[in-house]
Amino acid sequence: MKAFSFVHAADLHLGYSQYGLEARREDFDRAFQELVDKTIELKPDFMIIAGDLFNNPRPSNTTLENAIKNFSRLREAGIPVLTVDGSHDSAPNIVTGTILNPLDSAGLIYHLPKRDGACWRKEECCYVYGVPSFRTKRKTEELLPDFMEKNKPTPDPALFNIFVFHGALDIPSLKPPYMEAEISPELIPEGFNYYAAGH
């Protein structure tokens, strides 16, 4: 296996005007730009964004423009960006789909759940598999097994295997739980070396 490096980020919440303040939206934009600046400086093999790139499924044009400019910089630097959707930016319904799909179609990101096998591979290096967010525990228990049956994870013991997801794990030993968990540990596949989570 070849040596490699990657950046793992999540919950960037672009477009979030916290407390109703435009200044807070600008703070989130600046934080993203700083992340991109540092990533380009580090020159990793790829970047993972484990959900909630955007704060809502339909970001404003200003927020989209900021994202497009920064993803274009990463593309020009030769750094692929691998994403999954999160609880805030997942598709509001089946018809409209997630905002991440057009960014994938434009070649700015690699939206893992949209791709064949929900995966990305770097030869002699790593295998990255990602699942979408289903938002609630009930929907996750109902839909995640079906998604993984249709897109079977195939970790390779000769590679470094990364599983990307967005959600809170139900860990019974945590009392009281920090938040309502959406994912039972039994739903997380074995055979991966690194679990890239967000929430």
Q: Encode pLDDT of 28-51 as tens digits.
A: 999 999 999 999 999 999 999 999
pTM score of the predicted model: 0.94
DSSP E strands in the chain: the ranges are: 6-9, 46-50, 81-84, 110-111, 119-122, 126-130, 160-166, 194-198
Does domain 6-198 sit in CATH 3.60.21.10?
yes
**pLDDT-above-90 percentage for the chain:** 80
The vertex-134 CA angle with 155 and 74, nearest 5°, equals: 60
Distance CA 182, CA 41 (A): 36
pLDDT confidence band for 95 (50 / 70 / 90)? low
What does the mean pLDDT of the chain come to? 93
Domain ranges of the chain: 6-198
